Every structure is written in structure tokens, then in C-alpha cells.
């Protein structure tokens, strides 16, 4: 079990659970219902999912199956309508707003299909800002090192808006790498990339697991992309079917 960046007081467990080993991410009988006036949309229907520490898992399914909703709940950006989402044994619903912000800044890296970065900041500034929020002592140097690791040493001063889609994704991954984010949630990160950049980004995600020990959860509609992971969980109609 890992609680690498957060204060122990934040992640303390109930006394009767302290001797147990918990998975990094677990969803227990999770429902998510969106309401708009009299209309209800059920995004998740009793979803059960368990992802262990250090795994690289792909969550595969068509648009509308609930996989992105699952990521939103795992990022503590929303709460389930019923059920429980746990990270390292702690139900995210129990965190107050300050604790959720600390969780996202220090324990979590979110990588989206696009819009991962501040467009007017340089690649270096984007990574350094994330490091500073995570409490890094020398965010500028650490940002430079991480960007060089992912082949972006010559692009550090370019604004995010001036980078290609593949470069932007690598900057986001470099940020997660530099922070040593224990949990990385990637939502269709290759959806707008060509085949060459897709492979580069998938290899970069794999490095987060192999070199940093991060737990990586990759959401995708592509079976080919999902094959890059060590394990595939398939979703349909708001629940896991494999």
C-alpha cells in the first residue's frame, strides 16, 4: 500500500483495517446517475473494479459505456450516486475539499485526450508548476530532467500551444514522471494522434509503471491501444464485463 506524498494523517485507516492490504484503486458496486429535470441518465450500473498497485490496466469500451465517468470518480472530481470509490483503502467520499485538492496535486496525474496543459506556459513552466504544487524543492531543474527523459530537451521553452499533439501528451506524461505520481489516469490520450505518436505515448505511459512504479489506468475505445497494457478490463453499459 502506498501513501507516498500525502501526510499520514490524511490517509490513516480505521483501526480494524490497518493490517489489511488494499488495492490502489477499487470501485465497489458504484452507480452514477445524472439528472436533468425529469430525465435520468445512468452512467454506471453497479460497477465493480479492482486495480492493484503498480499495474498498467486498460479500460476498454465504446463511447457512452461509462469509462470516462469512472475516471472522474477516481479523480475525486465527482461523487458516486451509490457505492464506494477507494484509493489505498480510503473512500474518496470521506475527503473534504482540501484533502481532495491535495490528493489530486500529490497522488494523482490526469492525462486527457487534449487540453492537458496551460497553452501560454512553456513546456518547462507547465511541468514545474505541477511539481511546485506537489511540493518539489527544485521544480525547474526537475522539470528539465523529466522533459529530457522523454525526448523534449529541445522543446522546453516552447509554449504548449506551439507543441504538436504528441509532444503535448509527452509533456503531460513527463509531469507525472517527475512527480512520481502513484496513480495515473489517462482518458483517451492517443485519440487525436497518428500511429507513430500513438506508439511513442503508449511507450511513455509504460515507463511510468516500469521506472516510477506508478499505477496506470488507460481508458480507450481502441482494442489496439488497449493491447499495450498488461491487463484489459472491458466495460459495457456502465459495468465491467471482463
For each of the domains in the chain, give its residue range(s) and CATH number, in order of start. Answer: 54-79+95-240 (3.40.50.300)
CB atoms within 10 A of CB 14: 8
Q: 3-state class of 105 per DSSP?
A: helix
Residue 92 in contact with residue 30, Cβ under 8 Å?
A: no
Band the pLDDT of 21: cuts 50, 70, 90. low
DSSP state of 91: E
Largest CA distance in the chain: 54
3 pLDDT above the threshold of 90 = no
Band the pLDDT of 4: cuts 50, 70, 90. very low
Q: How far apart are CA 24 and CA 121, in angstroms?
A: 32
pLDDT in tens, 179-198: 889 999 999 999 888 999 89
> Pairing state of beta strands 215-220 and 56-60?
parallel
pLDDT more than 70, % of the chain: 91
Please name every residue paired with 40 in a beta bridge, in sequence order, or none if there are none: 35
Q: How far apart are CA 217 and CA 188, in angstroms?
A: 11
Check residue 20 and give its pLDDT. Answer: 52
Name the pTM for this structure: 0.85
Check residue 136 and give its pLDDT. Answer: 86
Residue 215 in contact with residue 51, Cβ under 8 Å?
A: yes
Check residue 114 and give its pLDDT. Answer: 78
Mean pLDDT across 201-227: 94
Q: State how far the alpha carbon of 199 is from the alpha carbons of 75, 139, 195, in Å.
A: 25, 28, 6
Amino acid at each position: 500500500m502506498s501513501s507516498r506524498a500525502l501526510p499520514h494523517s490524511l490517509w490513516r485507516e480505521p483501526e480494524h483495517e490497518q493490517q489489511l492490504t488494499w488495492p490502489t484503486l477499487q470501485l465497489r458496486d458504484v452507480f452514477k446517475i445524472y439528472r436533468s429535470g425529469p430525465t435520468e441518465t445512468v452512467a454506471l450500473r453497479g460497477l465493480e473494479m479492482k486495480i492493484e498497485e503498480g499495474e498498467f490496466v486498460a479500460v476498454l469500451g465504446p463511447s457512452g459505456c461509462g469509462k470516462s465517468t469512472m475516471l472522474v470518480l477516481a479523480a475525486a472530481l465527482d461523487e458516486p450516486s451509490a457505492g464506494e470509490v477507494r484509493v489505498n483503502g480510503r473512500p474518496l467520499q470521506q475527503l473534504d475539499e482540501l484533502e481532495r485538492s491535495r490528493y489530486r496535486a500529490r497522488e494523482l496525474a490526469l492525462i486527457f485526450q487534449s487540453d492537458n496543459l496551460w497553452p501560454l506556459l512553456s513546456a518547462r513552466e507547465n511541468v514545474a508548476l505541477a511539481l511546485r504544487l506537489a511540493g518539489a524543492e527544485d521544480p525547474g531543474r526537475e522539470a528539465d530532467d523529466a522533459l529530457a527523459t522523454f525526448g523534449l530537451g529541445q522543446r522546453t521553452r516552447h509554449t504548449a500551444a506551439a507543441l504538436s499533439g504528441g509532444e503535448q501528451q509527452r509533456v503531460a506524461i513527463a509531469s507525472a514522471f517527475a512527480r512520481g505520481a502513484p496513480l495515473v489516469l489517462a482518458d483517451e490520450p492517443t485519440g487525436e494522434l497518428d500511429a507513430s505518436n500513438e506508439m511513442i505515448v503508449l511507450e511513455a505511459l509504460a515507463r511510468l509503471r516500469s521506472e516510477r512504479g506508478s499505477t496506470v489506468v488507460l481508458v480507450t475505445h481502441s482494442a489496439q491501444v488497449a493491447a499495450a497494457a498488461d491487463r484489459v478490463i472491458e466495460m459495457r453499459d456502465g459495468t465491467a464485463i471482463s
